[in-house]
Amino acid sequence: MTMKKNLLFAGALMMASLSMMAQTKVGGISESMIQQMAKSQNGGAANKALFNAIAANNIDDLVKNHANEAPVDTHFSIETPAQSIHNQKSSGRCWMFSGFNVLRSNFALNDKQGRVVEYSQDYLFFYDQLEKANLMLQGVIDLGKKSIEDPQVQFFFKNPLNDGGTFCGVADLASKYGLVPMSAQPETYSSNNTSKMSRLISSKLREYGLELRKMVSQGKKPAAIQARKGEMLAQVYHMLSLTLGEPVKEFTYAFRDKDGKQIGEAKKYTPKSFYEETVGKDLNGTFLMVMNDPRRPYHKTYEVEYDRHTYDGHNWKYLNLPMEEIAQLAIASLKDGHKMYSSYDVGKQLDRKRGYLALDNFDYASLFNTSFPMNKADRIATFESGSTHAMTLSAVDLDANGKPVKWKVENSWGADNGFSGCFIMTNDWFNEYMFRLVVNKKYASEKLLKEFDQKPTMLTPDDPLFQLED
């Protein structure tokens, strides 16, 4: 063998050796592992039939528990008055729809003239987006001396704008900007389909954020930085006005009853005067936000840093409680006729057609010959589950001992979705996938109110529980 051939042979051996080492590196998938995986499969006709079925069908259609197909019991021992169902369409505004459901329900419940109201989501959404843009830009200024790789700085550039939120946003925005009826400012294509508008404004905000960071690093005077931020927000305002419409400043409106009959004469209103007539007071300070997070100690208060709708508004602040205590708060409110803002991981075990949520709607475990044993704490910790969708808690069914059997919520996916626009959920499902409740403070004990007022533990918005409610 020539020297050249020897060298080529040695090189080939080395490459083969290196290849084998790469294949057998600890932590990688080796050829022997693949072989073992293949051997572990149950062959035969049954597996082939399963593959053929799964390959040609929606998995949910195959695993639907037909033993659970009896008509859903729609009786509720405690139920608040029904109201119209709205549709958020392709937007992440569930928090606003649910919050408005509560406000208009409270108005109808307390109004002696039998009047009802439908609030404009488009109007308040305009200011929500403008305020979130300012929150992002001011946050970038506040953190301007930190590295762009700092987690707090990255939070703002990663999430310059979104249309998700919580009831805190309804409270802060409505008290600041007022409310208008739906007829005074109807929905637009972009309010119902927010993705393109949001992406374009987000792009401008990232660009503006870099510019503001540069001004901070150059030691520009605060007044100059604020002036430039004002110019940036003017551009955002312009983009919002073209997509959502200029917010109305004054309008003429006549109230109607639930059957559409006009009550009283039409009057002129401003958003603030309409808020005063239909809500009447600042919502902040009137409600208690509670959550169920079994990862953390109960009866402790927590706050989510920088996670709010307005720079001068309120962060999420909540009292962590066991589900049994959350249920008792909800029952007390429903007995008094008051609906509540609440949030869930609604996609889990959802029978959308029937509007029914139960832990045994779909048997995925049997189909794949496995189990899904994680508890609620494990699901939160691993991003498997979280508070993702707000709905309005409207009814509960109690057994002879006063224990909840099932619950009903008003959703914001249209009246033709689910059970006439509502979802019915078993109490077992409620315990596993319900996370947040906003309830009037008058239904809470002095003990709970004192716990809510304790100094909160500050959390970061990237916690797995705080997924955007949309």
- The domains found in the chain, sorted by start residue, are 78-459 (3.90.70.10)
Pick from 25-29, 311-315, 456-460: least confident? 25-29
Q: How confident is the model at residue 6 (pLDDT cuts 50, 70, 90)?
A: low
Give catalytic status of residue 94 as yes or no: yes
Percentage of residues of the chain with pLDDT beyond 70: 94
| Higher pLDDT pick, 231 / 52 | 231
Catalytic residue among 101, 320, 389, 427: 389
pLDDT at 21: 47
Backbone phi, psi, residue 146, to 5°: -85, 160
CA distance 398 to 396: 6
For residues 162 and 197, the answer to whether their CB atoms sit within 8 Å is: no
CA distance 33 to 134: 54
Other beta carbons less than 10 A from residue 121's beta carbon? 24
pLDDT at 468: 62
pLDDT at 107: 97
CA distance 404 to 426: 9
pLDDT at 11: 54
For residues 93 and 170, the answer to whether their CB atoms sit within 8 Å is: no
Catalytic residue among 315, 320, 411, 427: 411
pLDDT at 67: 83
State the DSSP H helix or E strand holding residue 141, giving kind and residue range, or none if neither: helix 121-142
Give catalytic status of residue 66 as yes or no: no
Per DSSP, helices labelled H in 307-414 are 323-335, 364-368, 376-381
What pLDDT digit, counting tens, does each position of 242-265 carry? 999 999 999 999 999 999 999 999
State the DSSP H helix or E strand holding residue 52, giving kind and residue range, or none if neither: helix 45-55
pLDDT at 43: 76
pLDDT at 20: 47
pLDDT at 463: 86
Pick from 59-73, 162-176, 199-213, 423-437: least confident? 59-73
Give catalytic status of residue 422 as yes or no: no
Does pLDDT of 322 surpass 90? yes
Helices (H) and strands (E) in the chain, counts: 17, 16
Residues forming beta bridges with residue 304, ordered by sequence position: 316, 459
Q: Compute the average pLDDT of residues 430-453.
A: 98
Q: Compute the average pLDDT of residues 386-409.
A: 97
Distances (CA, A) of 240 to 101, 124, 173: 25, 12, 16
Catalytic residue among 86, 94, 338, 431: 94
Pick from 84-88, 264-268, 307-311: least confident? 307-311
